[in-house]
Amino acid sequence: MADGLSPAACAWVECRDGRIARTGAGDPPRRPDLDLGDMLLLPGLINAHCHLEYTHLRGMLSGRRGFADWIGQINALKRHSSLDDFRGAIRDGFAEAVAHGTTSLVNIEAYPEIVAGIAAPIRTWWAIEGIDIRAPFAFPPLPELPAVSPHAPYTASAALYRRATRIAEATGALFTTHVGESGEEHEMFARASGPLYDLLGRLGRDMSDCGHGGSLGLLLDEGLLPRGSLLVHMNYFCEGEPARCARDGHTVVHCPRSHAFFGHRAFAFDDIRAAGLPVLLATDSLASCRTLSLFDEMREFASRHPHIPADEILGMVTRAPAAALRMTGQIGAITVGARADLIAIPDDGDADPAATALRHRGEVPFVMAAERVIVSRRHKLQA
């Protein structure tokens, strides 16, 4: 059992010191400490892109009037939020993510000063976000599981990208950035026009990098992405760029419900996959989707790409992000030696456990991570 997804093959799991020590089919070798009954055991899910600090903005923004308008909306709402609001939002976001079966997470963090005061309940990469349109930006000392995130080519300068690249290459920090998210971003860089071009010009951004090609091409041409970057969105790109990204070992992070919220052009999954570029699924923030559930993201993706097998889609929130986070064999799989990050969902009897996972709605009854049971409902604890 390579990925641990078959309930027939994986009837029991023995955990020791936070890791999976043994797995097996049939009857367990001894009386279990925990009997989950007729539930389907899955590896904990991995959300490779979210902004938990916007959890309190759920349902407050509209994507209908375009991307530049949405930026205006979120900036106005952020101005009315205190650091305590963001702290509370992060805590609420963690609770919601865990309740929906997420056990590892990359959180983009625009307010690094609040990270130290928050005890993350699950494995978390705090990706420090850099923006330098109006003022210089310097990365602070990075937390454990270091990550850097120049926000996007329209808000972070080439110099900021270079500094982040140097940090990633020197320390092994994860590097992630938004790129090619909206048609407005593409229009700004390719044609030096459009609402985003106008907005950022008014804010005083140096627009001399516009009018020469798309934003992803700019990052690639200028050498602003270290090998193995997580490229978030990539809804808009130019011909040949997915293959270039694949050669550089990058990974695309697709956020299906945020994509639908803005009404972007169809996500070119087949072209990206054909170029050999891995794709992950993530939630992005509640400023552009309604829940922090990766099950909801998988279902949205499946509805738009019905020809993709369920197991491949489940892999986009388990095996593929584990590889992108350089943790293959440690997370995203139920294998001996892996971290004991386990979740369970009701088993509807489908022979394909991934199909069962794609149908799951709402919270999950069982979550184990960070060497403890975090969520436990509807199971029998043995005396």
Residues that bind Zn ion in the complex, under the rule CB under 5 A? 284
- Residue among 54 and 197 whose Cβ is closer to Zn ion: 54
CA 1 to chain centre: 26
374 contacts 98 by C-beta, under 8 angstroms: yes
Contact criterion met (CB below 8 Å) for 98 and 343: no
Specify the residue, 199 or 333, whose C-beta has the smaller distance to Zn ion: 199
Nearest distance from C-beta of residue 51 to Zn ion, angstroms:
6
The DSSP secondary structure of 256-275, one letter per residue, reads: HHHHHHHTPSPP-HHHHHHT
Which of residues 284 and 300 has its CB atom nearest to Zn ion in the complex? 284
Identity of the residue, 152 or 345, whose beta carbon is nearer to Zn ion in the bound complex: 152
C-alpha dist (Å) from residue 204 to 70, 132, 189, 201: 19, 11, 16, 5
The nearer residue to Zn ion, 96 or 284, going by C-beta atoms, is 284
- We find the least distance from the C-beta atom of residue 152 to Zn ion, in angstroms, to be 9
Instruction: Determine the residue with CB nearest Zn ion.
Output: 284
Q: What is the rounded CA–CA span in Å between residue 69 and residue 325?
A: 33
Q: Residue 26: what are its φ and ψ, rounded to 5°?
A: 70, -155
State the nearest-atom distance from the C-beta of 9 to Zn ion, in Å.
Answer: 37
Per-residue 3-state assignment (H helix, E strand, C coil) for 22-88: EEECCCCCCCCCEECCCEEEEECEEEEEECHHHHHHCCCCCCCCCHHHHHHHHHHHHHCCCHHHHHH
Cβ proximity to Zn ion: between 69 and 350 the closer is: 69
What single string gives the DSSP state of each residue in 140-172?
A: PPP-SSEEEEE--TTTS-HHHHHHHHHHHHHH-
Minimal distance in Å, beta carbon 5 to Zn ion? Answer: 29
Find the shortest distance in angstroms from Cβ 78 to Zn ion: 14
Nearest distance from C-beta of residue 108 to Zn ion, angstroms: 6
Backbone φ and ψ for 45, nearest 5 degrees, come out as -85, 155
Rank residues 70 and 366 by Cβ distance to Zn ion and give the closer one: 70
Q: Least distance (Å) from Zn ion to the CB of residue 284?
A: 5
What 3-state class would DSSP assign to 226?
coil
